[in-house]
Amino acid sequence: MSAFVMAEILEVSDPAGMKQYAEAARPTIEQYGGRYRTLRGKMEVMEGDWRPAPLVIIEFPSLERAHAWYGSPEYRPLIVQRQAVSRTNFVFIEGL
């Protein structure tokens, strides 16, 4: 069963640092079977009051693989790097 990691990028205090993070994160995502489904793409709210910040959505083969990536020795140092340069909400969602 697939799973999605949704990151809402609320604020970026260091754009260059965020770019470095993103470049370093991509190979770790791919290593764990993940692939980007959207990377801060255009959004249109069709109903409701939600005003999301830019979103990144990554699909993994399973929730277990998403957790393995997030807790991996390859990605853990990048969490610290991302948190130093941005404020982000992270959500894991089980797919169908």
Q: Which domains does the chain have, with CATH numbers?
A: 3-41+54-94 (3.30.70.100)
Structure confidence at residue 44 (pLDDT): 85
Residue type, 37: R
The arithmetic mean of pLDDT across residues 3-21, rounded, is 97
Structure confidence at residue 45 (pLDDT): 83
What pLDDT, in 10s, does the model give residues 53-84? 999 999 999 999 999 999 999 999 999 999 99
Cα separation, 35 vs 31, whole angstroms: 10
What pLDDT, in 10s, does the model give residues 78-87? 999 999 999 9
Contact 1, 94 (CB under 8 A): yes
Residue 50 has pLDDT above 90, yes or no: no
Is 29 strand, coil or helix?
helix
Q: How confident is the model at residue 18 (pLDDT cuts 50, 70, 90)?
A: very high
Backbone φ, ψ for residue 11 (5° rounding): -160, 140
CB within 8 A of 51, min separation 6: which ones?
45
Nearest to 4 by CA among 36, 30, 42: 36
Residue 41 has pLDDT above 80, yes or no: no
